[in-house]
Amino acid sequence: MCNQAVGLVAAELERQGIATVAIQLLREVALAVRPPRALFVPFAHGFPLDRPGEPERQHAVLEAALGMLESSETGAPVLLDFEPSD
Amino acid sequence: MGQMSEFSVSVRLFLKAYRWRRIDPVPFTRPSKPLSQARLALVSSAGFVLPDQERFDESLRGGDPSFRFIPSDTDGSILIDTHRSESFDHTAMRRDTELAFPLQRVRELVESGVVGSVAMRHLSFMGSITAPGRLVKNTAPEAVRALVDDQVDVALLVPV
């Protein structure tokens, strides 16, 4: 349910003028709820930023997500897949 | 979806039958300034609270739609996990709160110049909300108004 909750809050943020990007752990929920910008990550629930205690891997997810805010993509919603470098 | 396989059969059946709240139309705001000049707020649904804050209410049937403000200079190690869901493993995010509420990671992004600044406060929700009407109509608008007042430009949302 977290994926839906953050999607709904993201929509409200956008309605009030704050641009957003939401991490999503379940692709089908991202497709059903449609947060404005979503980065789909292939990690288990409880691990949205990849691994505990590994700042570099967490930064990789964050920078991919924030990079979506600088995209000139015009069609909302935008869904991007994160590919970890393993 | 491979990841549905993480859950028990009963949770999977629930998720398949659940009527997801579709966002339509999809609101879309372009950032008004480059990321390197923008003020960033975090929104986490991990159910974290500060030691002196009330826990999220795990007894509310449709989920607790309330939120907590978490000051941006908070040491993440003091955060308490009060997320009620037993559908996922909480261990990792308790050990490293950065995994679900990256307070220090975003400070590092400011230091490295990727992000302009962090907001004065971030938002913590508990994402186990099966009846999101009150979230959508009441608590999300209220929470967002605070971030607007704080002159936040962009927000990163992290579910667990």
The DSSP bridge partners found for residue A21 are B156
Of B89, B106, B152, the CB nearest to A46: B89
Query: How many residues make up chain B in this entry?
Result: 160
Q: Which helix (H) or strand (E) holds B42?
A: strand B39-44
Residue B10: which residues within 8 A CB-CB, separation 6 or more? none
Cα B110–B40–A80 angle (5° rounding)?
100
Of B99, B154, B160, the CB nearest to A19: B154
Residues of B in contact with A51 (CB under 8 A): 92, 99
* Span B41-56, pLDDT tens digits: 999 999 999 999 999 9
* Span B56-99, pLDDT tens digits: 999 999 999 999 999 999 999 999 999 988 888 889 999 999 99
Phi first, then psi: give them for residue B119, nearest 5 degrees. -65, 160
* Span A28-84, pLDDT tens digits: 999 999 999 999 999 999 999 999 999 999 999 999 999 999 987 777 899 999 998
Confidence of residue B2 (pLDDT cuts 50, 70, 90): very low
